[in-house]
Amino acid sequence: MNVLLIGSGGREHALAWKLAASPILQTLYCAPGNPGIAREAVCVDLDIDDHAAVVDFCKDKEISLVVVGPEAPLVSGIADDLKTAGIPVFGPTAAAAQLEGSKGFTKDLCDRFGIPTGAYMRFNNAPKAKAYIHATGAPIVVKADGLAAGKGVTVAHTVEEASAAVEDCFEGAFGEAGAEVVVEEFLEGEEASFFCLCDGESALPLTTAQDHKAVGEGDTGPNTGGMGAYSPAPVMTDAMIERTRDGIIRPTLKGMAEMGAPFTGVLYAGLMITSDGPKLIEYNVRFGDPECQVLMMRLKDDLLLLLKAATDGMLWTTSARWRDEAALCVVMASKGYPGSYAKGSSIRNLQEAQAADDVEIFHAGTATRDGEIVADGGRVLGVTALGRTVGQAQRKAYEAVDAIEWEDGFCRRDIGWRAIGRNG
């Protein structure tokens, strides 16, 4: 079958790498793709915001599945438009993508269907939000309601900081996304990410991962899209997975179906493992980036068959098996990220760096110039390795990082520290 993958990041490179290995794949196209993806797929210069153009492309190339990587096209209804045109698509409709597109929507769903999460209030003006913050006290969390590229959340340690975050939102720091604000209870515990494939009715649990959102070692400094990840996450014991599935995922799918917005695609639950068990921090309606990179390294089964089964409402016929090894991904970013950074510096020695067994370098923000790979974004490479333990995967990943010649890049040197602290 012919498949169109939408996106251009490290997540999409990992998906392309895995899809390309499927025996049922004929041609994989990717719009817009990147130089790493171009090794696995035919990259096409399609404007993914132009849904009619995407539909035309799919008809022309006889695409029998579209796989949508990032959230923005889903929130803006690309799955709806493809479905209307009769093209099968892996990813939720705009109505179901509200699980990521509106934090208030998800909090209301939790409230209505008894899903464990932090206490919250929704506000559409600053004075009321600030009054609530004063009455509740700190620490407290302030979130812009809509999509803000991972930057709309402030974990405030003082009432003043929380009030300033409220002001920022209503003054337009996050544009439309901040026109409504959710103020939420601060949850204490260890974070973990849990992924499921969903077909509207049932969920196939995938596996767990842990992300490293802060830019600096020891989880310091501003938040980023993610500086590294590993899988599995030891904090997600079998008991925690079961509680998450039964108490969080199942009622979500049931609730969404009841509300007329059944969820198809990847449901990514951002969890806080508290002393009372798992609580939902947020949902994303797509694979995590860089969590996808570690998941794909561990997945033994045919990804295309799994995504097709989810799209066809046939998940109950499938299972997903995982390699016993741990996978760990170190993100290399341009110096300055998540603030401003320069583009265009040369990156060399990538071939040699990934020569070792079980090491893959996934491209995110790269471009080619005169036959050479250059940096073209904030997060640039996802250096990913498998190992018997998280510690061994970490050593292999950093060996590969150290073989890469890129003066203008940096990475955190402590990816995996929590798991390594537990198990070595």
404 Cα distance to chain centroid: 25
Q: Give yes or no for a contact between 74 and 267, defined as CB atoms under 8 angstroms apart.
A: no
Q: Exposed, middle or buried, 213 (CB in 10 Å: 0-12/13-18/19+)?
A: middle
Region 154-213 residues binding ligand GLY, contact defined as CB under 6 A: 211
Question: 395-415 burial string, b = 16+ CB within 10 Å, else e?
Answer: ebbbebbebbebebbbbbebb
Token readout for 297 is 């390294």
Q: What is the DSSP string of 321-340?
A: -B-SSEEEEEEEEETTTTS-
- The answer to whether residue 284 forms part of the interface with ligand GLY (CB under 6 A) is yes
- The answer to whether residue 277 forms part of the interface with ligand AMP (CB under 6 A) is no
- The answer to whether residue 251 forms part of the interface with ligand GLY (CB under 6 A) is no
User: Cβ-closest residue to ligand GLY?
Assistant: 226
By beta-carbon proximity to ligand GLY, the closer residue of 211 and 408 is: 211
Shortest separation between residue 187's beta carbon and ligand AMP, angstroms: 4
> Which residues are within 8 A (CB) of 12 and not within 5 positions of it... i.e. 6 or more apart?
5, 6, 30, 33, 34, 37, 69, 70
- The answer to whether residue 236 forms part of the interface with ligand AMP (CB under 6 A) is no
- The answer to whether residue 71 forms part of the interface with ligand AMP (CB under 6 A) is no
Token readout for 63 is 């695409």
Tell me how far apart the alpha carbons of residues 323 and 335 are, in angstroms, rounded to a whole number: 34
* Residue 155: contacted member of ligand GLY, ligand AMP, none (CB under 5 to 8 Å, by partner type): ligand AMP
The interface region with ligand AMP, picked from 47-55, 71-79, 125-133, 149-157 by CB under 6 A, is 149-157
By beta-carbon proximity to ligand AMP, the closer residue of 401 and 415 is: 415
Instruction: Quickly count helices (H) and strands (E) in the chain.
Output: 15, 23
User: How does strand 2-7 pair with strand 28-32?
Assistant: parallel
- The answer to whether residue 155 forms part of the interface with ligand AMP (CB under 6 A) is yes
Site string for ligand AMP, 87-126 (x = CB under 6 A): -------------------------------x--------
Of residues 184, 166, 7, the one with CA closest to residue 103: 184
By beta-carbon proximity to ligand GLY, the closer residue of 289 and 408 is: 289
345 Cα distance to chain centroid: 27
Tell me how far apart the alpha carbons of residues 143 and 392 are, in angstroms, rounded to a whole number: 37
By beta-carbon proximity to ligand GLY, the closer residue of 225 and 378 is: 225
- The answer to whether residue 187 forms part of the interface with ligand AMP (CB under 6 A) is yes
The interface region with ligand GLY, picked from 56-64, 76-84, 287-295, 416-424 by CB under 6 A, is 287-295
Using CB under 6 A, count the residues that bind ligand AMP.
Answer: 14
Shortest separation between residue 44's beta carbon and ligand AMP, angstroms: 31
The interface region with ligand AMP, picked from 11-19, 179-187, 246-254, 398-406 by CB under 6 A, is 179-187
Of residues 67, 12, 80, 39, the one with CA closest to residue 304: 67
Among 69, 91, 226, 278, binds ligand GLY (CB under 6 A): 226
- Residues lying near ligand GLY in the complex (CB under 6 A): 211, 225-226, 284, 288-289, 291
- Residues lying near ligand AMP in the complex (CB under 6 A): 118, 141, 150, 153, 155, 184-187, 191, 213, 270, 281-282
